[in-house]
């Protein structure tokens, strides 16, 4: 499904009750994506209108829990990035060994 950006809406949450990174992660979930698809309206070209956007509820745990969730996600992302770097290093080592064997 192709999406076309027709207009822009700005989300302005009350910052005292929200960790911005938490909102960013929540906006990228499959659940929200599916809800947006289900709420899209239109015949020839479906879209999300401000009314539908305003009806979407994002669960908002207490601030301390939001911070814990963000910390866990960021720790996992750091591990994934480290693993990717290790894979790149070992891929290069493997290529170097194979090249060396072909040259002998």
Higher per-residue confidence, 81 vs 5 = 81
Record the tokens describing residue 35, joined without a space: 């809800």
pTM value > 0.75: no
CB neighbourhood size of 83 (10 A):
10
Structural domain spans, the chain? 15-103
Contacting residues for 47 by C-beta, under 8 A, at least 6 apart: 4, 6, 40, 41
Higher per-residue confidence, 55 vs 12 = 55
| Adjacent-strand bridge partners of 41 | 47
Q: Please compute the mean of the pLDDT values over residues 27-37 and round it to a whole number.
A: 87
């Amino acid at each position: 499904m192709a999406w076309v950006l027709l207009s822009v809406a700005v989300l302005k949450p009350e910052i005292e009750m929200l960790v911005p990174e938490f909102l960013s992660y929540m906006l990228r979930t499959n659940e929200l994506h599916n809800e947006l698809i289900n709420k899209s309206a239109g015949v020839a070209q479906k879209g999300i209108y401000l009314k539908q956007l305003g009806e979407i509820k994002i669960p908002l745990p207490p601030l301390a829990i939001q911070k814990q969730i963000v910390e866990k996600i960021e720790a996992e992302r750091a591990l994934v990035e480290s693993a990717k770097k290790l894979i790149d290093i070992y891929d290069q080592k493997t290529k170097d060994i194979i090249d060396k064997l072909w040259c002998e």
